[in-house]
Every structure is written in C-alpha cells, then in structure tokens.
Amino acid sequence: MAVRNRGLMLIVCSTLLAVGGLSAAAPYHDEQKQLERMAQAYGLPLHGYGRFGALGLPGGKLIPYTATGKREPNPWAVSDIRGIFRDCYPLTNVRYGLKHRNTDPGRYRNYPLLMAVYGASAAEVRRSLVRVDFCGTMVLFSSRNGAAAALSRVSAEISQDPALLAWVRQLVRRDSQAIGTWNWRTIAGTTNLSAHSFGIAIDILDRSSAKYAYWRHTSGNEQAASFWPRFITHEKIWEPPSGIVACFERHGFIWGGKWYHFDPMHFEYRPEFFPPGSRS
Ligand SMILES: [Zn+2]
C-alpha cells in the first residue's frame, strides 16, 4: 500500500474496528467514504449523504447505506452498502480467518447491485461475456465495469514473472479444468448466486493436492466444518503462490483465501475494496 493512501484505507475500513469492538460505530464521514467508493467502483450516482445516503441503480432503485429493520435471508447476502464493508479486506498477506472467526472480507454481496451492473439473468450476463487470454488459457469474463480488462491486466502481470507463469501453465497442463470462470450457479449450501454467475470470478485450483480447498470440506457436517480451526491447521489448507494473490489484488480482485469460510482457489473482481493507488 502506498503510504500516501494509508489514511484513505483506514477510513474505508473503519467498520472493521466496529466489528472488532474497538469502536462503537464508524464516524459519520466514513460512511460517506464507503458510499463514494461504491459510486466510483461501479460508476453509479449517489443520493443523500453518509448513513442516510444511498447508491442509485439504473432504473431508479436505490440501495440504502443502512437498511432499516433488515433481516438478511441468506449468509453473505446484504441489502445495504454498510454490509458490504462489514469486514475490511486486508491488503497485508494474512490468513485472515485464522485470526478472526467468521470474518469473511468481501464475501458479503449486494445482489440487486451485482444484477444491475453485470446482468440479472444467465442470458443477460452471457451477452456481456468476452474471451480473455488468461496466461494462455481462454476464459469467459464480463466485459462490464472493467472486469475483463482487469483480468487481462492480471494475466499480463503474471506473464512477466516466469515462475508464476510456469506455475499456472503447469496446473493447466496437468488438468484442463484447473481454471474456471463463468458459471450461473448458487454457492454450495446456500441459495445465493455465486460471483461466478456474473462473470467476475475466476477459480485456479490444483486438484492433485490433498490439501483442503474449501472450508465445507473440512468435515462431513457443515456445522462442524464451521469450527475448522479446532481440528485442522493452516498448513492443511491449499493456497496459490503469494505472488499470484498480489497480482490479482493489484488489479481489484479479492482472494477467498482471506475468508474464515475459506475458498483459496477463488479470485473475484471487487473494485470497491481497492481505492486507486491503494496497492502498487
Ligand atoms: Zn470461485
């Protein structure tokens, strides 16, 4: 993170302190900062200010900063903007979930927003998909909101590093299904659409590894799996080289390896977590 932007990141991430019990509530100004990050990241208009503000969607619908009386029907689906920023996405190279149980930075998604930006049905999303050359493998990604262009930049950067490029190519040589992008489907065990449905996520997985690549797989019982640190250590969780993670983050992608409910094969285009210049 560039030093000059550290203040901005602290503001954007202020709700982390609230979650951690260090602060009762985000200062008024910080709520406006989060709204501004959303407006900038998705090219949408703002209405109002701070906690009484809202993000405007095409067609006139508003997403409030704070939904009142909300009861979220599904895990990781939020009806307001505040929920998206509930957990701060860390730019440091940490295994976040090990330190913070149930901290899943970036896993909280506002579906009306994603549907308005990337498409509300499989057919609509499909019309905006373009082919992207990802390190020699052609994949489908959304051309909207700069997603495909960002993935191309990730690929270009990985391709400049012989060791990282060799790592990706070796995976694909061994397993033609090692890389996956667009797939209109729900998240396993939930009724939420996966980010893959919108053409903004890419999985890179070494299926020959015996390590865990998804939190639910740590136990046959989902309830037990949600307590995975009690019976497995971090060394048993699969992860890509840290240089791969850094390349994605530099271009606006979050990594599922930083979630308590870990999904380390998963990279997702979420530009709201990366203010311009926040990672160089
Ligand atoms: Zn994924």
pLDDT in tens, 180-224: 999 998 888 778 899 999 999 999 999 999 999 999 999 999 889
Residue 160 lies in a domain: yes
Confidence of residue 234 (pLDDT cuts 50, 70, 90): confident
CA of 27 to the centre of ligand 1 (A): 34
Distance 208 CA to ligand 1 centre (A): 17
DSSP letters for 52-119: G-EEEPTTS-EEESS-TT---SSTTB-SSSGGGGSSPPP-SS--HHHHSTT--TT--B-HHHHHHHH-
Cα 187 to ligand 1 centre (Å): 9
Query: Is residue 5 over pLDDT 90?
Result: no
Tally of domains in the chain: 1
CA of residue 268 to ligand 1 center, whole Å:
8
> Can you tell me the mean pLDDT for 48-76?
85
179 assigned to some structural domain: yes
C-alpha of residue 89 to centroid of ligand 1, in Å: 17
CB 116 within 8 A of CB 57: yes
What is the distance in A from the centroid of ligand 1 to the CA of 265?
Answer: 6
Give the distance (Å) from ligand 1 centre to CA of residue 18.
28
What was the pLDDT predicted at 29? Answer: 64
CA of 267 to the centre of ligand 1 (A): 7
Structure tokens at 166: 């060799």
Q: Which of 142-151, 204-213, 270-279 has the lowest mean pLDDT?
A: 270-279
At 182, phi and psi to the nearest 5? Answer: -75, 135
The yes-or-no verdict on residue 37 having pLDDT over 80 is yes
The mean pLDDT of the chain is 86
Q: Domain of 218?
A: 3-273
Q: Please indicate, yes or no, if residue 279 is contained in any of the structural domains.
A: no
Between the CA of 176 and the centroid of ligand 1 the distance, in Å, is 16
For the four alpha carbons of 119, 122, 123 and 128, in that order, the dihedral sign comes to: positive
pLDDT value at residue 14: 40
pLDDT score at 70: 63
Residue 47 to residue 54: CA distance in whole angstroms = 5
pLDDT at 190: 79
Residue 192, C-beta contacts closer than 8 angstroms, at least 6 positions apart: 74, 75, 76, 77, 109, 111, 186
Report the b/e string of 33-43 with b at 16+ CB within 10 A: bbbbbbbebbe
The answer to whether position 278 is within a domain reads no
Instruction: Examine residue 11 and state whether it is found in any structural domain, yes or no.
Output: yes
| Tokens standing for residue 10 | 């602290």
